[in-house]
Amino acid sequence: MDKIELHAHFSGCIRFTTLQELTIRQFGQNQEINFQKCTTLEQCFILFAKINSLNLMLDDVRRIADEIFEDFYSDGVTYLEIRATPKKGQDFDQLQYLKAISDAINKAKFEIKLIVAIDRAKGIDEAEKTLNLVKKNKIQHLVGVDLCGHPGIGHFSQYKSILQKFRDLGYKITVHTGELKQQIEENNDVIDFQPDRIGHFIYFTEEQLNKIKNLNILIEVCFSSNLFTTNMHPDCHPVKQFISQGIPIAICTDDTLCFNTTVTKEIELIKTTFGYSNEFISSILKQSLNYKFKLE
């Protein structure tokens, strides 16, 4: 069974042992992280803040990228899209950060593409900087842009024009939406924009779901992520509804570190929860390959 991953965040897939080592190096032994799975969205963003507080060197970024790609390869993933928010460090700028990831992709043993992520919590100015960075530089393997970040901060409408500019450059668009109940209204703006894919989408109306189907927009399903951050019972996850209504989905990890998961684990969870056969799951995975990003 060929496994693909369309929704994985670079910072959320760092190996725990590496995170622990880098944390101790910077803050000392007494700052060792006592890791447990994120069980709320807030815990996830606290962990992201800890990761982002690390004063990395470029060699650290290269190491993290190599390890992430090794882990997905060991899990049997044959195609990966990794999304990363441009960052600065001790000896690198945002462009060098993305190029370090791109260089690691060149060494990987399977096909990987890069998605640049816009954090809605960082504001419009930072999003504009990311757009200008992409416009002015050739970033190898870059195929799309993701609007992500804390769903309780900002609104999709603030980033619509920036995302359109990315689209005009030929890049594909994916948007996190429907992660919180209060985003149901915001879903309308996202769907009207007609992104190529959307992530999560666990809170929605039937009308919105019908529009998603009619527009043939794939939903990036992050099963464990949704269960841990909402305390939703597995049987209540809408992935079964998506599948029964013929809406294309991809089975994704979101953050392998935060939820201690792999693509294999996500596939098994969905398969056993809803009683799907290996053949049926395999057909879903093959279908999701039709929605991988490539430049126009």
**The pLDDT value given to residue 36:** 55
**The pLDDT value given to residue 50:** 74
**The pLDDT value given to residue 34:** 54
Across the strands, what pairs with 175?
Answer: 147, 198
**The pLDDT value given to residue 137:** 98
Rg of the chain in Å (alpha carbons): 18
3-state secondary structure of 9: strand
Q: Average pLDDT by consecutive 10-residue portion of the chain (296 residues)? A: 95 92 81 57 70 84 98 98 96 97 98 98 96 97 97 94 98 97 96 99 98 98 94 95 98 94 98 97 96 91
**The pLDDT value given to residue 28:** 78
Judged by phi (left if over 0) then psi (alpha if -120 to 50, else beta), residue 123 lies in left
Question: Cα separation of 294 and 161, whole Å?
Answer: 21
Q: Where are the domains of the chain?
A: 3-291
**The pLDDT value given to residue 32:** 54
Question: Is the model's pTM score more than 0.75?
Answer: yes
Query: Architecture of 3-291 per CATH?
Result: Alpha-Beta Barrel (3.20)
Match 């369309």 to its residue by tokens. Answer: 6
Cβ atoms of 23 and 35 closer than 8 Å: no
Cβ atoms of 200 and 178 closer than 8 Å: yes
